[in-house]
Amino acid sequence: MSDGAMRGKGVPVRLDKVSFSYGEAPLTFDVAFAAAEITAIMGPSGSGKSTLLNLVAGFETPQSGRVLIGGADVGAAPPAARPVSMVFQENNLFAHLSVEQNVGLGRSPSLRLTEADRTAIAEALERTGLGGKDKRLPRELSGGERQRVALARVLVRDRPVLLLDEPFASLGPALRDDMLDLVAGVHAERGMTVLFVTHQPQDARRIGRNVVFLDNGAVAATGSADDFFVGAGPEAFRRYVGAGAGNAVSRDIARKRT
């Protein structure tokens, strides 16, 4: 799989009859994610949301089944070789490196940066609202700014698949909305495939086009976010978000968009 061939626009992701276990009840995933769309992955704690992302990223290896990205089986590819970027709940910044250097790791793990690399880094920092903060250390930034650094690193990597594992869970509602809108804006520009784990119905409804709902270690239902949040989702999903919550979320988002 050539790296250049997998850059740019999003590509489909599929877990084909994938099974995995930490030694307890097995997790089983048989699901496809549409190319160039944002899919929210939801479900109770322990249902396998983070594990699903780790299987796509290559941090976990299936016991059976295939992980396909852009139609190619990436089962033998290490994480660094997969056309994937990932942002975690903890932003994984190096405390001793500046903002510019932390972002630069997305271009060169050795930080041997060309002029083209430095230009791309500066553009990514401007795009994420970090212009002028390139020399700061992570401890000099707010929590939201540190997550912006992580997103800027994603931009300079320019991979077709973006995995978000509850990266904004620790932020307050207003700042979380700002970060979600930033992700949506970047997605509109880049068209990457986004798999977004969240516990927040409001977050899923704000930027998600599709929903994959996990329950008891398996895919319980898939569909459009519109259907899920107007009561057409499975009963387990309605219990998960709470009675009437889906419609309330839809009304709230509709008000914000008008």
Q: DSSP class of residue 125?
A: H
Q: DSSP class of residue 229?
A: I
Fold annotation for 9-83+159-239: Rossmann fold (3.40.50)
Segment 93-149, tens digit of pLDDT: 999 999 999 999 999 999 999 999 999 999 999 999 999 999 999 999 998 899 999
| Helix (H), strand (E) at residue 20 | strand 13-20
Whole-model pTM: value is 0.87
> In what order do the strands lie in the sheet containing 72-73?
72-73, 64-69, 13-20, 27-33, 218-224, 210-215, 38-42, 193-197, 161-165, 84-87
Segment 11-36, tens digit of pLDDT: 999 999 999 998 778 899 999 999 99
